[in-house]
Homo-oligomer: A and B are copies of this chain.
């Protein structure tokens, strides 16, 4: 059996640490694991399969001899290093938004469009966390009944903005409970001018604003969903409308999804059944026993949890559902490692001659 040299870029971040853990519990045969980060984090030691591995500072040459790169160190770091890695023969799975909309880069959620992996030219992109869990819940519905429209409102956890945002949020929560004033330097988004507390609050801004008044996160949900489900970021076959809100939760995003199917004969029970039978989705939908997805029960799990499925009484063919998944696992680290597993399974861990040159 072929074994692979794997590198994790951004190994000390909230997602990077989880990539190490997910890789440890994956089917990827790892010959050697290299942990890469910025000079600031170099020297840190992280355990992998009982062995301590020292984090190294990333340089282009770090990727010599590497077969698979799992990247989660920010968009600019990916832009800088992934073409270098591909040039040296490594297949990269990138968890940042750097390459998601590139037509030469497959955007893959294995449950939905694993076949796209075969088209890679050295880089595969991992979608945005809020997109991933929604498409896992909707794909079985789409396959069986068709899908014409999606209206989603998200309830996104602080950890989606990174470990420093999560730490800031915890500090705010303690200050609030102590009756002190809350301060904010990171949320809603590091790159913007104003900052607001998230603790005991709601921030209807994730990422920066686009010209049309939507946020970039909302834009991502629209176009990534189309690219994953219809293989075209501007496809019109499924209309997508998104509102993204940061909520005072640490880990796991919630989503209130309203959708319309093409086959108007579909019933609530039909929707429940196809989701229940779909790999990667777990149906938690028993109102009589107050069973429904919750962030604190989804945390640490790889699955996407779906419940509160209802037929809209006034609009035939329209349904509601409530979707929760661990944004750091299925929304990031696990989906990345899962893509690596699928590459290995399909013997696709090789960079083609017409490789991605950036």
Contacts and interface: CB of A to CB of B under 8 A. Distances in A.
Interface in A113-139: none
Nearest to A194: B290
A266 interface: no
Given A194-B290, A239-B312, A247-B248, 20 more contacts: A155-B155, A155-B247, A173-B177, A192-B290, A193-B290, A196-B296, A197-B296, A201-B294, A202-B295, A202-B324, A204-B293, A204-B308, A205-B290, A209-B288, A212-B310, A214-B310, A241-B258, A241-B315, A243-B258, A248-B248
Given A204-B292, A213-B287, A322 B243 contact: yes
Given A205-B290, A308-B243, A315-B239, A250 B200 contact: yes
Contacts of A239: 312, 314-315
A288 B188 CA distance: 14
A155 B202 contact: yes
A236 interface: yes
Contacts of A149: 315
A258 to B, nearest CB: 5
Interface in A150-196: 151, 153, 155, 170, 173-174, 177, 188, 192-194, 196
9 contacts: A155-B155, A193-B290, A196-B290, A202-B324, A212-B311, A213-B309, A240-B314, A241-B312, A241-B315
> Which of A239, A245, A296 has its CB near the most chain B CB atoms (within 10 A)?
A296
A268 interface: yes
A239 B317 CA distance: 14
A293 B192 CA distance: 17
B315 A200 contact: no
Interface string A216-254: 000000000000000000001001110101011110001
A96 interface: no
Nearest to A288: B209
Interface string A270-300: 0000000000000000011110111110000
Contacts of A170: 177
A296 B201 contact: yes
B318 A202 contact: no
Given A239-B315, A256-B153, A201 B245 contact: no
> Which of A200, A254, A287, A294 has its CB near the most chain B CB atoms (within 10 A)?
A200
A307 interface: yes
Contact of A314 (B192, B193, B236, B296): B236
Contacts of A173: 173, 177
